[in-house]
Structure 1
Amino acid sequence: MKRLFLVLLAAALFSIGAAASVNAADSVERRDFEKYASGFTGTFILYDEAQDQYTVFNEPQSTIRLSPCSTFKIYNSLIGLETGVLDIEDVYTLFPWDGKQYSFPAWNRDQTLAAATRDSVVWYFQELASRIGEKRMQEYLDTIEYGNRDISGGLTTFWLGSTLQISAREQVDLLRKLYAGTLPFSPDNIEVVKRNITVSENNGIRLMGKTGSGFVDGKWTLGWFVGCAEKQGDRYFFAVNIQAPDGAAGGKAREISKAILKDLGIL
């Protein structure tokens, strides 16, 4: 409890300066999102740290809050590590599979944090949330100011098309604070999560990100990809979300993100 109080106090002391930094940047609006995401409603927002500038495709959509889906695994992981529910050493993050058969074969086995993040194993993170508990989960979401902070939809489901919601702009600004070290998570724990969400590392460019997918009545209706690209010492934070009656999943959002990042000269 004392440790939690200290990290929460540290976050509070950092918050004023961090908030000012987040709000100070210039913004460039782009109106060609359809070029990359034909048939989808959505947005892409990028923050260039070196230039202190946002680039926003479909700006009105960037402030609309939606379910984070599996992008919340970034913070579920961090909270699990910070509270001691998980350990930095992978062997201590092992959760046993209960034998229930899932439609994704990769889910049907014991899971470590790294594997569960890579394969987006929902049951692992539901178990993690249960072990963290409602009180600690709410305290952390309040402290880091995660979207609407609403976990009333249930401890194991609040981020899955339920009550918790966050906008693309909020996703980017939260990642900025995370990488700046102004959130109540230790550098070691942040490095664990960054390693787990690394998508590729080639030619001096490291792409990190987490997908999220909303599934309703057998159809993929919401896709997310949020993360950071590091290139030659510069960092670019981004978030994309897409919506459609079907076909809007995290994999498609990642594809759109990579196409835009490439055209912007980042990848």
Structure 2
Amino acid sequence: MKTKLALATLICFSSCHRTKKASIDQNGETGIAHQIVKPEFQSIIDSADVIGAILLYDYKKDIYYSNNFEWARTGKLPASTFKITNSIIGLETGVIENDSVIFNWDGRPKGNQNWEQDLILRDAFHFSCVPCYQGVARKIGSERMNRYLDTLDYGAMDVDSNTIDTFWLMGSSRISQMQQIDFLKRFYTGVLPISGRTRKIMKKLMIIKETEQYRLSGKSGLSNANEDYNGWFVGYIEGDDTYFFATNIEPKKEFDLDTFISKRMDVTLSAFKRMEIIN
């Protein structure tokens, strides 16, 4: 079991605006969309020896699928999935000038070899460079951060001058899987109140994998509050149709951290296969 690693090592990877799809309140309750329980998703979770929920949303059919809607409505720390929003706010405020910006390494150990080098924005995002994004958050500042979070209607974050560079990693900030998908839908469909330039940069930044069959975009996240590990994988997959997803899992008592980290994406891809979204 690898439960004594430093926090840096553990992190791997406007309220009235809504799409025409289901609205979601701060508790993650859906108003319109249909919900279908998928026992197959629970089998995937059980086979991975974790607990949690896989949540998929079929944008065309306006249907949510999950093994556990109660879990999907429960708020969790956003962890590094917040790098999506942090990047958006950074771009909107000019703290992140463009997609060619370079995060310069200060030469000090960071607890992750990938972070101990100069990084362009895409690498900082996909390597989930915590120090890079802590610097972005500090430059944004708590006042602007709170103003943008309200405008973007992103979960329920607890931000002040003392927590500005840690609020997504520890403390009382919370966002549910339902809220994650609601945010991603508003971003994807252009309803989120941000510039076209920011949206274009972010859509390119978030791409994880492209094949002839599909394009997968998103972000993973991992928090470790009081030795309680919680893992995220959120985003959307574009193929014949578009599906949004938010997977949130926790390990059982005995686990290997490296294996747990990979399971966030593994269980999500398994759900895609069960739904015949991918082969």
> Normalization by structure 2: what TM-score?
0.84
Q: Which ranges of structure 2 fall in alignment gaps of 5 or more residues?
A: 1-13, 25-29
**1:215 corresponds to 2:224:** yes
Cα 1:65/1:216, change in 2 over 3 Å: closer
**1:47 corresponds to 2:93:** no
Distance 1:223 1:250 in 2: 7
Distance 1:180 1:215 in 2: 32
**1:254 corresponds to 2:262:** no
Cα 1:70/1:99, change in 2 over 3 Å: same
Counting aligned pairs with the same residue, the percent is 34
Distance 2:196 2:31 in 1: 24
Cα RMSD, aligned residues only: 2.2
2:275 alignment counterpart: 264
Matches within 5 A, 1:28-39: 28-38=36-46, 39=49
Distance 1:20 1:64 in 2: 16
> Pick from 195, 203, 209: which aligns with 1:200?
209
Matches within 5 A, 1:136-175: 136-152=144-160, 154-175=163-184
Q: Which ranges of structure 1 fall in alignment gaps of 5 or more residues?
A: 1-10
Cα 1:14/1:160, change in 2 over 3 Å: closer
> Pick from 120, 129, 132: which aligns with 1:112?
120
Cα 1:89/1:118, change in 2 over 3 Å: closer
> Normalization by structure 1: what TM-score?
0.87
Instruction: Give the residue type in structure 2 aligned to 1:129.
Output: A
Instruction: Give the residue type in structure 2 aligned to 1:67.
Output: L
CA contact (8 A) 1:222 1:250 kept: no
**1:62 corresponds to 2:69:** no
Distance 2:21 2:155 in 1: 16
Instruction: Decide which moves more: 145-154 or 250-259.
Output: 145-154
Aligned length: 253
Offset at 1:16? 8.3
Instruction: Give the residue type in structure 2 aligned to 1:231.
Output: G
Higher helix share: 1
2:87 alignment counterpart: 77
Instruction: Decide which moves more: 124-133 or 12-21.
Output: 12-21
Q: Which has the higher contact order (CA 8 A, sep 6+)?
A: 2
Instruction: Give the residue type in structure 1 aligned to 2:82.
Output: F
Instruction: Decide which moves more: 187-196 or 30-39.
Output: 30-39
Offset at 1:211? 0.4
